[in-house]
Amino acid sequence: MQEATFLILTALADGTQHGYGIITEVRQISGGRVKLRAGTLYTALDRLRADGLIGVDREEIVEGRLRRYYRLTPDGTAVLAEEAARLHANATAALRRLNPGLAGGAA
Partner 1 sequence: MSEQVISSEQARLERGYRRILACYPRSFRRDNEGEILAVLLDTAEPGQVRVGLAEAWDLIRGGVRMRLWPAMPRPRAVRAAVTLMLAGAAAELAALLTVIATLGSVRAAVAARDTAAAHALLVHQVAVMVGAPVAVGLWLWLAWAIGRGEDWARLVSVACFLLMSLSVIGVLAQDAVAFAPASMIAAAVVWILGLSSVALIFTPAAGRYYRLRAVQQ
Residues in contact with partner 1 by CB under 8 A are: 19-20, 23, 37-43, 46-47, 49-52, 62, 65-68
Q: Please, which residue, 50 or 107, has the CB nearer to partner 1?
A: 50
d(CA 37, CA 42): 9
How far apart are CB 19 and partner 1 at their closest, in Å?
Answer: 4
Strand partners, 17: 70
How far apart are CB 86 and partner 1 at their closest, in Å?
Answer: 21
Nearest to 51 by CA among 15, 10, 18, 80: 80
